[in-house]
Amino acid sequence: MSDQLTGVADVEDPDRLIEEISLLRAKVARLQERVEQLDQLAHQDSLINLPNRRGFMRELERLISRVDRYGINAAMLFVDLDGLKMINDTFGHRAGDEALIQVAALLSKGVRHSDVVARIGGDEFGILLESSDDANAQETAARLIDQISASDFVHDGEALPLSVAIGVGMIDALDTAEAVMERADEAMYRRKAAA
């Protein structure tokens, strides 16, 4: 079988071997770039330039590890956008998408750059607050609720009210991501029921 058929360069020809190595390095670099692109697609929301649920869970697990290792305070905010179904049903899904984009922007602007904001479901967002105790997390949640309810969301010339319910779940050492999500989700539903 010839070298050409097996894809193996002639080791007797150093120039040809160097050329083959260069081609293989270029191919590996292209494959690594493609893997990075696919990883980003797997962890990014397709509508909003934020992490999706998978990306959020990865960041939550990292934060739990830091809480465990360094003893820092951290919290998760579970954010539920109220009335998205009504907006979709009345004005169409384009209006619902615009509402989601606006809420995502308001949430991102309302927290520190080091905090993680993600879309974790249809009308649900998650926020990770590192170095945040319960009082600070509650204050952040209240401030975000006020900012969103005070914002003007206009679709086709019609002002639509936006509001959110936010639950706070503190992150403990040796926690699981699922347990943190459940606590924050339950806190959000308690807040909704009390409103």
Domain layout of the chain by residue ranges: 3-43, 53-194
How far is it, in rounded angstroms, from Cα 144 to Cα 148?
A: 6
| pLDDT of the residue at 1 | 41
Query: Is the distance from CB of 59 to CB of 171 less than 8 angstroms?
Result: no
Rg (CA), the chain: 24
| pLDDT of the residue at 154 | 87
Per-residue pLDDT tens digits of the chain, which is 195 residues long: 444 444 555 667 888 888 888 888 888 888 788 767 766 666 788 889 899 999 999 999 999 999 999 999 999 999 999 989 999 999 999 999 999 999 999 999 999 999 999 999 989 999 999 999 999 999 999 999 999 999 988 888 888 888 999 999 999 999 999 999 999 999 999 998 887
CATH 3.30.70.270 holds for 53-194: yes
Residues carrying an active site annotation: 123
The predicted-structure confidence for 97-113, as pLDDT tens digits, reads as follows 999 999 999 999 999 99
What predicted TM-score, i.e. pTM, was given to this entire model?
0.79
How far is it, in rounded angstroms, from Cα 182 to Cα 90?
A: 31
State the DSSP string of 113-162: TTSEEEE-SSSEEEEEEES--HHHHHHHHHHHHHHHHHS-EEETTEEE--
Q: Quick one: DSSP state of residue 11?
A: T
> What residue type is assigned to position 172 of the chain?
D
